[in-house]
Amino acid sequence: MSLALEYLIKEPKVILDKNPLLLLLHGYGSNEEDLFSFASELPENYYIISARAPYPLPPYGNAWYAIDFDANMNKFSNDEQAIESRDLIVTFIDELLEKYPIDKNNVNLIGFSQGAILSYAIALSYPEKINKVVALSGYFNHNIMKDGYENNDFSKLQFFVSHGSVDQVIPVDWARKNPEVLNLLNVKNEYHEYNVGHGVAPQNFFDFKRFLIEE
């Protein structure tokens, strides 16, 4: 069966009746190989699946939604495309649950940049589907949330939020607002900054790996 998104998969070495899932969502202009490069370092009991965003960016890479510039070089996100990608990923998760013996109560997201922005939208719009979120170098965009998301039950959801303190793509000030948003919703979260630009520091990797393993 053809699934909603192209993907790479690393099956778990430790086979359970139902294994947890780590779904990797890459950033703008990248592809499914990017985050998958550290799949071998992640816990061995997970299905690790890295999805490819649906919009090709010639000559290389893909995007979850377009980023447009006006004459003054102001950036605008295409929120309609972002909402389409949000729901496409949710459909993809449902398809993965049908295709593989994945524990539906242990579906986890790792998103970088655009992938992190969408991870907020997916987890807060559909919290019954998501267990933990690792949101790397992203921010919360209210415009791509499902209507009425504030009334959802977030009691089982947990976020690990991190950002580079010298990020030249997404200002760290934007990221510092993320815990405030999550706290207002009573979503469990932890926030970390690292002395890097728009990327993932080694310490960041070790910290979020700990977060994933912890009960």
Specify the length of the chain in residues: 215
Neighbours of 120 (CB within 10 A): 27
Amino acid at 170: I
How far, in Å, are 117, 142, 172, 204 from residue 83 at the CA level? 11, 11, 24, 28
Q: Please, which residues have CB within 8 angstroms of residue 94's CB and are 6 or more apart in sequence?
A: none
- The tens place of each residue's pLDDT in the chain, 215 residues long, gives 689 999 999 999 988 899 999 999 999 999 999 999 888 889 889 999 999 999 999 888 999 999 876 666 667 789 999 999 999 999 999 999 999 999 999 999 999 999 999 999 999 999 999 999 999 999 999 999 999 999 999 999 999 999 999 999 999 999 999 999 999 999 999 999 999 999 999 999 999 999 999 87
**Domain parsing of the chain, residue ranges:** 7-213
User: Is residue 154 within 8 Å of 187, Cβ to Cβ?
Assistant: yes
Q: Which CATH superfamily is domain 7-213 in?
A: Alpha/Beta hydrolase fold, catalytic domain (3.40.50.1820)
Which parts of 102-154 are beta strand (E)? 102-112, 132-136
User: Is residue 90 within 8 Å of 129, Cβ to Cβ?
Assistant: yes
User: Is residue 102 within 8 Å of 15, Cβ to Cβ?
Assistant: no
